[in-house]
Structure 1
Amino acid sequence: MIVVVDALNRHKYNELLDEMFKLRKRVFHDRLGWEVDITDGKEIDMFDNLHPAYLIALDDEGDLVGCMRILQTTGPHMLADVFIDIMDGEPPVRSAQLWEVTRFCVDTDKLKSGKSRNSISYVTSELFVAATEYGKNAGILDAVAVIDPVMNRVMIRSQNAPYDYLGKTVQMGKVKAMAGLLDCTDERINRLRAFNGIEGDVFAESDEVALERFASRPAAVAKLPEPNHPGVTDTMRAEVVALQTPAPTQIDLHSYFNEQIDEAESAEELAAAEALKAEMTKYFRNKNRCDA
């Protein structure tokens, strides 16, 4: 699931953004050795104050596993103001139809190898599908991505190769940095989707859906207060209990239906209980067939 966080909804995602900045610190400072600013264990720079858009990937358990920053090139941006050596003397690129994609990273500690869901390859492709679709729908023709040679090879292998490069490759910390151009086209989207079997809408249905999944991640549930703790309101107590209560299994549901049948006090109640059990049995039979 990809969550879009921008100036309009950023106030809803303070905790999610904190987790994103912490991931960026672990990747760009700790692993890659880039000279970046670190504050309270988070990597945040001046471009994060320019109201960029963030694409944030959540896995099936609600953990943040990847991110990307999108910034307009008509104002300050990294290729013009930080990675200017890449341009090798050429003027900075600026266009209302060109976005800059930077700070792309995935959590290699949480993600698996291979190409299945919740894998490094899948989340990488999912983020670039989202970025390309997001840009295309906004009328953007191209994106410039500041990447290292390793990421460049990953993009080539995953059917997401830049169609051209700007300037030259320069040293940046422990690795080198380069700028690749990516077109925002259906052809690129289709290649990325086909490579990892990505189907359907990659974006969260709503902010509420995204926040609910993030709140249900194991780390968040483990930090929930005890329901009877002083200061926990009735609303908070209900939410805590709901998150800590395991979802009913098929066996639980069938037991419930049988209890309703046994406790029916009229022909109408019996018929309704039996109809509900039959409908749910049909649903699970079809679901199990599809999952198989």
Structure 2
Amino acid sequence: MLRILTRDMLDTDRRAFDDMFRARAAVFRDRLGWQVDVRDQCERDRYDETEDPVYLVTQQPSGTLTGSLRLLPTTGATMLKSEFRDFFDQPIDVDSPTCWECTRFCVHPLAIDAAQNSSRTVATELLSGLCDLALDTGIESIAGVYDAAMIGVYRRIGWRPTPLARSRPEIGNLYVGLWDVTADHSRTLQANLSRLLDKVPSTPAATVIGEGHGGMR
């Protein structure tokens, strides 16, 4: 099940927010080794605390979250304009009311099992929900920074970004790209998700997306 969370829901949906922030700490700090701010086993940054992000999450019937991502309008403060700005030699000019930034794309490791909740299934559900949400709200493209290792994953899921720039070698093998939001992409993602839900994965969940369970930064 997909849900949308906003900051004004923090008090009424505390469990969902805590699940999301704890999973982000487990993935981004503990598994991937990113330099992120973790307090009380929860990863939060200034965009969570001072901006008005929209979160998209996948949730089991029990209430446990299996995945999450964060959206910010590119007309305001974004990681592309700040933290990621110096990753790339060429300037990245992404500032439009119809383009939103996706960061903190996270498949929650503790929620993954060997049945329906494989990491690929969760990632596909998140991207399918993101595409549909964007279509419904007039968003025409999604901007994000991603590792080169994710290129094949996005291709298999059915929604590949158009790369805008590659990071400097000392930063790593990262790209910034745009995901075009179209009805065709929505139909492809929904069809691929249906196929995944109709079968039991034959490979361990952790090997489908990668060791870290992280997507867009």
Classify the TM-score, shorter chain: 0.7 to 0.9
- The amino acid of 2:109's aligned partner reads T
Unaligned runs of 5+ in 1: 200-292
Deviation of residue 194 (structure 1)?
Answer: 1.1
Asked if the contact 1:87/1:166 (under 8 Å) is kept, the reply is: no
Match of 1:193 among 190, 196, 211: 190
Identify the residue that residue 208 of structure 2 maps to in structure 1. none
Secondary structure of 2:167's match? strand
Q: Partners in 2 of 1:91 and 1:178 — Cα distance? A: 11
Alignment correspondent of 1:57 = 58
Q: Is structure 2 residue 117 aligned with structure 1 residue 118?
A: yes
CA distance 1:196–1:179, change in 2 (3 Å): same
Report deviation, 1:90.
1.2
Percent identity, please: 32
**How far off its partner does 1:37 sit?**
0.9
TM-score w.r.t. the length of structure 1 is 0.62
Take 1:37 and 1:172, find their aligned partners in 2: how far apart are those partners?
22
1:139-154 pair list within 5 angstroms: 139-154=138-153
Shift of residue 75, structure 1, vs aligned partner: 1.1
Displacement of 1:148 after TM fit?
A: 1.5
- SS across alignment from 2:11: helix
Which residues of 2 match residues 29-178 of structure 1 at below 5 A?
Answer: 29-49=29-49, 50-112=51-113, 117-162=116-161, 164-170=162-168, 176-178=173-175
Q: CA deviation at 1:17?
A: 0.5
Counterparts of 1:28 and 1:144, CA distance in 2: 19
Cα RMSD, aligned residues only: 2.2
Q: Contact between 1:4 and 1:54, CA under 8 Å: does it hold in 2?
A: yes
CA–CA distance in 2 between the matches of 1:86 and 1:157?
27
Distance change >3 Å, CA 100–CA 109, structure 1 → 2: same
Q: Work out which of the two has the higher radius of gyration on C-alpha atoms and give 1 or 2.
A: 1
**Secondary structure of 2:128's aligned partner:** helix
Displacement of 1:86 after TM fit?
A: 3.7
- The question of whether the paired residues in 2 share the 8 Å contact of 1:67 and 1:106 is answered with yes
Offset of 1:160 from its aligned partner?
A: 1.4
Structure 2 length as normaliser, TM-score? Answer: 0.82
- 1-side partners of 2:112 and 2:35: how far apart? 26
Opposite residue 160 of structure 1, the aligned amino acid is W
Deviation at 1:158, TM superposition (A): 1.3
The answer to whether the 8 Å contact 2:89/2:168 transfers is no
Q: Which has the higher contact order (CA 8 A, sep 6+)?
A: 2
110 and 7 in structure 1: CA distance in 2 versus 1, 3 angstrom threshold: closer
Instruction: Provide the residue aligned with 1:13 in structure 2.
Output: 13
CA contact (8 A) 1:60 1:118 kept: no
Letter in 2 for 1:59: Q
- The offset of 1:120, in angstroms, is 1.4
Corresponding letter in the other structure for 2:121: Y
Asked whether the equivalents of residues 4 and 57 of structure 2 are also in contact (C-alpha less than 8 Å), the reply is yes
Q: Conserved in 2, the CA contact under 8 Å of 1:86 and 1:166?
A: no
Q: Tell me the number of residue pairs that the alignment of Structure 1 and Structure 2 aligns.
A: 195
Where in structure 2 are there 5+ consecutive unaligned residues? 197-217
AA paired with 1:104?
Answer: F
Cα distance, 1:7 vs structure 2? 3.7
